[in-house]
Structure 1
Amino acid sequence: MRRSTGVVGLIAALALLFLAVSPAYADPPGNNGDVKIHEGAGESNPMEANDPHVCTFHIHGFNFDGSASGTWRIEGWPPTGGGTYNGTWGPADASGNWREPKAGAMTLPAGHYKLFVWQKLPNDPPGGPKQKVFWVDCGAQAGNGSGQAEKVRSELQAAINNAVTVKGELATEMGVTAQILATANLTPAQRAAIEAALAAATVAQNALTAAITAANSTLTQLVTAINSGSQINAAINAAVQAIANLNLTAGTAASANASLAGAITANTSPAAQAQAQLANAISTANGVGTTLAGTIATAQGLNASGQLNAAGQAALVAALAAQTTLANMLTAAENALTQLTAAINSNVGVAAAVAAAATAQSNLGAAVSGAVTANANLNAGISASSPTTTTTTGTTSTGTTTTAGSTNTESVTTAGMTGSSVVAGFETSPQISAGSQGAATRTQGQSQAVAGIQNLPSTSTSQGTNPLALLGAILMAVGGAFLRRPKEQPAG
Structure 2
Amino acid sequence: MPATSLPSRAGARTAALAALTLVGTGLAGVPAAFAQPGGDNGDVKIHKVGTPFDDQRNEPKVCDFYLAAFNFDAGEHVTWTVEPQPRAVGGARLPNSAYPDNTITIEQDGSAQTIPLGLPNGQYKLTWKTDLGHGAGKHKVFRVDCPISKPTAPPGPNGGPPAGGGGLARDDAFGPVAGAAAVGLAAVTGVVWFRVRRRAHGA
User: What range is the shorter-chain TM-score in?
Assistant: 0.5 to 0.7
Residue 115 in 1 paired to residue 115 in 2? no
Q: 1:78 to 1:31 in 2, by over 3 A?
A: same
Deviation string, structure 1 residues 290-314 (Cα, Å, up to 9, x no partner): xxxxxxxxxxxxxxxxxxxxxxxxx
Of 102, 106, 125, which residue of structure 2 is paired with 1:88? 102
Name the residue aligned to 1:97: 111
User: Is the Cα contact below 8 Å between 2:80 and 2:129 reproduced in 1?
Assistant: yes
Determine the C-alpha separation between the residues in 2 that align with 1:67 and 1:13. Answer: 30
How far 1:138 sits from its partner (Å)?
A: 0.9
Amino acid at match of 1:36: K
Deviation string, structure 1 residues 346-385 (Cα, Å, up to 9, x no partner): xxxxxxxxxxxxxxxxxxxxxxxxxxxxxxxxxxxxxxxx
Deviation string, structure 1 residues 46-83 (Cα, Å, up to 9, x no partner): 61111111001001111222233221111112399944
Give the gaps of 5 or more residues in structure 2: 1-13, 96-100, 153-203
Name the residue aligned to 2:164: none
Name the residue aligned to 1:323: none
User: Is the Cα contact below 8 Å between 2:92 and 2:120 reproduced in 1?
Assistant: no
Q: Secondary structure at the match of 1:106?
A: coil
TM-score, length-normalised on structure 2?
0.53
Q: Secondary structure at the match of 2:102?
A: strand
Residue 53 in 1 paired to residue 53 in 2? no
Name the residue aligned to 1:78: 86
User: Is the Cα contact below 8 Å between 2:84 and 2:122 reproduced in 1?
Assistant: yes
Determine the C-alpha separation between the residues in 1 that align with 2:92 and 2:108. Answer: 34
Amino acid at match of 1:98: A
> Which structure features the higher share of strand residues?
2
Amino acid at match of 1:76: P
Determine the C-alpha separation between the residues in 1 that align with 2:42 and 2:73. Answer: 8
Determine the C-alpha separation between the residues in 2 that align with 1:68 and 1:100. Answer: 15
Q: Secondary structure at the match of 2:38?
A: coil
> Which structure features the higher share of helix residues?
1
User: Is the Cα contact below 8 Å between 2:79 and 2:103 reproduced in 1?
Assistant: yes
What count of residue pairs does the alignment treat as equivalent?
Answer: 132
Q: 1:75 to 1:12 in 2, by over 3 A?
A: farther
Query: For 1:251-330, what aligned pairs fall within 5 Å after superposition?
Result: none
Query: For 1:33-432, what aligned pairs fall within 5 Å after superposition?
Result: 33-43=42-52, 47-78=55-86, 82-86=91-95, 87-101=101-115, 105-120=116-131, 124-139=132-147, 225=149, 228=150
User: Is the Cα contact below 8 Å between 1:80 and 1:111 reproduced in 2?
Assistant: no
TM-score, length-normalised on structure 1?
0.24
Name the residue aligned to 2:38: 29
Q: Secondary structure at the match of 1:107?
A: coil
The root-mean-square deviation of aligned C-alpha atoms, in Å, is 3.2
Q: 1:73 to 1:10 in 2, by over 3 A?
A: same
